[in-house]
Structure 1
Amino acid sequence: MATRNRLPPWHEMIRLANGREVLIRPIRPDDAVPLRAGFPLLQPDEIRQRFLHSVKELTADQAERLTRPDPRREFAIVAAEPLPPGEALVGAVARIAIVDGSRQAEFAILVSHFIAGMGLGRHLMRRLVRWARGKKLERIHGDVLEHNHAMLALAQSLGFRREAAETPGLVRVVLDLH
């Protein structure tokens, strides 16, 4: 029997449709610098779809906050080059956070256009759902721009339903976990 190369929990190597291998792993504090450096590579529409408005840069404070999730109530993973954190280019980030005082969580995903359309968003969303189920949450939700057809189609294919969002131009997608 072949010896398996075991990775730590929440780590996995996957091969994208273009043949590139990426490491899915929890975000690390050392990822702050590569995240900030890679931010200018994002297209304005990618930024709007994730942040729901235009953002010119990822500040040091924002990067620090993103890369240090509270493990009791937050989970964030990245798809990165298979290099050490701090050296690896990060191509995607997925985050979920429990809403205070509830059994619900809100998610957000950003996949760079360089690796979009290769099934990575689906893969990351499934990991977020797995984490939420492990926390015994009742449901997860995310607010999506109504013209982000790719994300809306992905959510629907994974069993999310649409609800009206409080902000015009947004659609809330909800997945019940019971």
Structure 2
Amino acid sequence: MNGHKRLPPWHEHFRLPNGRELLIRPIRPEDADPIQGAFALLGPEEVRQRFLYALKELTPEMAQRLCHPDPRTEFALVAAENLPPGEALVGAVARASITPRTREAEFAILVSHFVAGQGLGRQLMRKLVKWTRTKKLDRLYGDVLDHNHPMLQLAQSLGFKRMREDDTPGLVRVVLDLNEL
């Protein structure tokens, strides 16, 4: 026996290049307060890139909704300190939600600038892809601001294809066909 405890499903220790270790795990209801509190630490551009518009605060209602995904149609992960939910500072949130009456899911990822550019977004996206495949969906997609080059490059490196949204200037839809190898 090697002394390592087996982690529950969808849990993973993730070491950043700077040596800091985060725990990637499913979001929990107790994460609502820390996520709401950490929202104030985000820069306006980070918020706009994720929500596609300026948002001054994450209301308690929005935080509660995010932290209570419907397990049949939604999946949400956090990358947080290895502390109990509710106490851990959350550095990133990733979510996939099945679009009603389709075989598609929409993703959203927000990685704080404090931990951005260190491979965390890639790992979270891989987990979202894995979840959508367990649901036997055909496509995973997300809308990205056309100047959010890090997200567009990440999506392309994972096999997503760009599709410009004609009705929403400034946005690019990235789509991953889950039936391709």
TM over 0.5: yes
> Is 1:177 aligned with 2:178?
yes
1:139-164 CA distance string (max 9 Å, x none)? 01000000000000000000000002
Instruction: Measure, in 2, the Cα distance between the counterparts of 1:167 and 1:6.
Output: 45
> Is 1:153 aligned with 2:153?
yes
Identity %: 69
Letter of the 2:134 counterpart: G
TM-score (norm 2): 0.97
The CA deviation at 1:3 is: 3.5
The CA deviation at 1:25 is: 0.2
- Residue 6 (structure 1) aligns with: 6
- Residue 64 (structure 2) aligns with: 64
Which consecutive residues of structure 1, in runs of 5 or more, have no partner in the other structure? Answer: none
- Residue 17 (structure 2) aligns with: 17
Instruction: Measure, in 2, the Cα distance between the counterparts of 1:2 and 1:52.
Output: 46
1:18-65 CA distance string (max 9 Å, x none)? 110000000000000001111110011000000000000000000000
Residue correspondence of structure 1 range 1-178 to structure 2 within 5 A: 1-165=1-165, 166-178=167-179
Which consecutive residues of structure 2, in runs of 5 or more, have no partner in the other structure? Answer: none
Q: Secondary structure at the match of 2:40?
A: helix
* 4+ residue segments displaced more than 2 Å: none
More displaced 10-residue stretch of structure 1: 127-136 or 2-11:
2-11
The CA deviation at 1:126 is: 0.1
Letter of the 2:78 counterpart: V
The CA deviation at 1:13 is: 0.6
Letter of the 2:177 counterpart: D
Q: What's the C-alpha RMSD, in Å, of the aligned pairs?
A: 0.7
Letter of the 1:66 counterpart: L
The CA deviation at 1:4 is: 2.9
Instruction: Measure, in 1, the Cα distance between the counterparts of 2:87 and 2:169.
Output: 40
Instruction: Measure, in 2, the Cα distance between the counterparts of 1:174 and 1:122.
Output: 15
1:90-129 CA distance string (max 9 Å, x none)? 0000000000000000000000000000000000000000
Instruction: Measure, in 2, the Cα distance between the counterparts of 1:46 and 1:115.
Output: 12
Letter of the 2:53 counterpart: H
The CA deviation at 1:5 is: 1.2
Letter of the 2:174 counterpart: V
The CA deviation at 1:2 is: 1.7
Q: Secondary structure at the match of 1:126?
A: helix
Count of residues in Structure 1 that have an aligned counterpart in Structure 2 = 178
